[in-house]
Amino acid sequence: DSGVTQTPKHLITATGQRVTLRCSPRSGDLSVYWYQQSLDQGLQFLIQYYNGEERAKGNILERFSAQQFPDLHSELNLSSLELGDSALYFCASSLTGGPYEQYFGPGTRLTVT
């Protein structure tokens, strides 16, 4: 158990819908990262938050957004869902925004039908 929690574990929804994925980092970690794992793109970085502020963006679609709350949990919002958004979404956390070891949550498996 990494100490990073993600909910829900599985999500099945229809095209055009909007979903919210939730992540709680390890106790004491200030930085949260979101990654997407799809069959064709592999594991890719989406976005990073550090202590409530956005730190960096990767290959994140405009239909996707995220935030980190004062209690340091984070939410990833996916809207206008398409079939191609079906993937495993991971949250990771690290102690600071620097080059510390990242620990991954169990992931949320999203299926868009």
Partner 1 sequence: GIQVEQSPPDLILQEGANSTLRCNFSDSVNNLQWFHQNPWGQLINLFYIPSGTKQNGRLSATTVATERYSLLYISSSQTTDSGVYFCAVEVGDSSYKLIFGSGTRLLVRP
Interacting residues with partner 1 (CB under 8 A): 2, 31, 33, 35, 42-45, 48, 55-56, 58, 88, 90, 92, 94, 97-104, 106-107, 109
The residue among 13 and 88 lying less far from partner 1, judged by its C-beta, is 88
Q: Are the beta carbons of 74 and 34 closer than 8 angstroms? A: yes
Shortest distance (Å) from residue 9 CB to partner 1:
10
User: Which residue, chain included where needed, has tokens 């599985």?
Assistant: 10
Q: What are the tokens at 101?
A: 């070891």
Shortest distance (Å) from residue 51 CB to partner 1:
14
The residue among 58 and 84 lying less far from partner 1, judged by its C-beta, is 58
Cβ-proximal residues to 61 (8 Å cutoff; 6+ apart), any chain: none
For 73, the 3-state DSSP assignment is coil
